[in-house]
Amino acid sequence: MKLKRVTLLGATGSIGSSALDVIARHPERYEVFALTAHRQTDVLFGLCKRHLPRFAVVRDAASATRLREQLKQASIATEVLHGSEGLEAVAEMAEVDCVLAAIVGAAGLMPTLAAVKAGKQVLLANKESLVMAGQLFMAEVQRSGTVLLPIDSEHNAIYQSITRHVPGTLSDCGVRKIILTASGGPFRNTPTQDLAAVTPEQACAHPNWSMGRKISVDSATLMNKGLEVIEARWLFDLPPDKIDVVVHPQSVIHSMVEYIDGSTLAQLGNPDMRTPIAYALAYPERIDAGVKPLDLFEVAQLTFEQPDRARFPSLDLAYAALRSGGTASTILNAANEVAVEAFLSGKLMFLNIADVIAETLQKAGSVSADSLEAVLDADRHGRAVASDIVNRHSC
């Protein structure tokens, strides 16, 4: 069996950790070609010691110099690159078979797009690539012929639940709608008046999933589900009114597909990101992911609720941006990243995150997203507008 060489963009986060665990279970199938990190260079050094990649990429020249010295002292031959050029280089090198895109936020767009343009198999965990530039991104997927496989548990579940024996659109395959499940986050039952005093530590304490701080806050505001709605629109070529969200606190059903004959197909499993990662890595085969089988007697109950859109307005803001089209989703994402960072650094109250996003969408305006330059300009403009608004809201 030929080894599949994998570049892992964002190796030090929770997705990266889960991916490396799956890869390490199958040394006869996978070889780590490149690992990248933004800030956690010491953690990246430890990963290089264990997985011996050919390349490692860090954010700047100073970090690269430090990592090179660490690797030299440990007699490890990994070559170190840095910056956006380094990220794009390890995403498109000829030796690479598969790129797992797990960089959080807008920073993941360009290297992920580079992998697509190079025709690599792309395992997509960076939802912002589609939120920011969905139309351009999917057009490039079609042009290059790349195999694009979603890693988010919800989109991976949809992918597994779609009948693929009939050519054409999902409607041609009898799909009425898709249903994305949401845990509801740590504040599902928290009264609105108590949300004003929420701390970053509380917001990052997700009840079911182990995730990074930014995505944990997004889950707490339901913006993560809003971003996933936008991602689903482009992945599955469906309009917003065919994408529903339901709160499912147990996080056992990861999403569902409703068909016109009355059938609803769902993918179930324990909340562990190694399952969708293993599915995508081995597609169309199945491999052991190290995940405990689902015990239905232990689960006992599966419950469902409507999202509370009044307490968590970010979900409707995402739907509104999607319906507006153009660069509205790009601006939404930019404003959210600025607001979440401000909340995590103590500059903004939890309840003001949605306020910043809404005001930014109103003030920044939207233009046609017909070029990558337009998307990147909208991202910069959205961040500037959001930063000004945050300064006014600062605690």
Give the DSSP letter of residue 241: G
Q: Quick one: pLDDT at residue 61?
A: 95
Contacts of 296 (CB under 8 A, 6+ apart): none
Q: What whole-number distance in Å separates Cα of residue 234 and Cα of residue 124?
A: 13
Per-residue pLDDT tens digits for 196-225: 899 999 988 877 666 778 889 999 999 999
- The pLDDT-based confidence of 171 (bands split at 50, 70, 90) is confident
Mean pLDDT of 65-79: 97
Cis omega (within 30 of 0) on the bond before 239?
A: no
Mean pLDDT of 356-380: 95
For 287, the token pair is 């491999």
Q: Quick one: pLDDT at residue 322?
A: 97
Per-residue pLDDT tens digits for 275-295: 999 999 999 999 999 999 999
Mean pLDDT of 119-133: 95
**Lowest-pLDDT range, 167-176, 277-286, 372-381?**
167-176
Q: Is the pLDDT of residue 168 over 70?
A: no
- The pLDDT-based confidence of 2 (bands split at 50, 70, 90) is confident
Q: Is the pLDDT of residue 394 over 80?
A: no
Per-residue pLDDT tens digits for 55-65: 999 999 999 99
For 242, the token pair is 């065919």
Among 129, 108, 298, 338, which Cα is nearest to 214's?
A: 338
Q: Is the pLDDT of residue 165 over 60?
A: no
Per-residue pLDDT tens digits for 232-260: 999 999 999 999 999 999 999 999 999 99
Q: Is the pLDDT of residue 271 over 90?
A: yes
Query: What is the percent of the chain with per-residue pLDDT over 70, rounded to a whole number?
Result: 97
Q: Quick one: pLDDT at residue 169?
A: 75
DSSP track, 40-94? -HHHHHHHHHHH--SEEEESSHHHHHHHHHHHHHTT---EEEEHHHHHHHHHH-T
Q: What whole-number distance in Å separates Cα of residue 225 and Cα of residue 114?
A: 26
Mean pLDDT of 36-61: 95
- The pLDDT-based confidence of 84 (bands split at 50, 70, 90) is very high
In the chain, what are the domains? 4-150 (3.40.50.720), 325-395 (1.10.1740.10)
Q: Quick one: pLDDT at residue 39?
A: 81
For 304, the token pair is 């469902």
- Burial class, 17, CB count within 10 angstroms (exposed 0-12 / middle 13-18 / buried 19+): middle
Strand partners of residue 178: 243, 257
Helix (H) / strand (E) element for 171: namely none
Q: Quick one: pLDDT at residue 80?
A: 98
- Torsion of Cα atoms, 234 then 238 then 244 then 245, to 10°: -10
Q: Quick one: pLDDT at residue 133?
A: 95
Query: What is the average pLDDT value for the chain, to the nearest integer?
Result: 94
Among 263, 271, 257, 267, which Cα is nearest to 299's?
A: 271
Mean pLDDT of 24-35: 97
Output the CA–CA distances (angstroms, integers) from residue 203 to 221, 229, 332, in the order listed. 9, 21, 20
Q: Quick one: pLDDT at residue 232?
A: 96
Strands (E), 171-318: 175-182, 243-247, 253-259, 264-268
Per-residue pLDDT tens digits for 324-340: 999 999 999 999 999 99
For 145, the token pair is 């012929």
Q: Quick one: pLDDT at residue 210?
A: 65
Buried b (16+ CB within 10 A) or exposed e, 37-64: bbebbeebbebbeebebbbbbbbeeebb
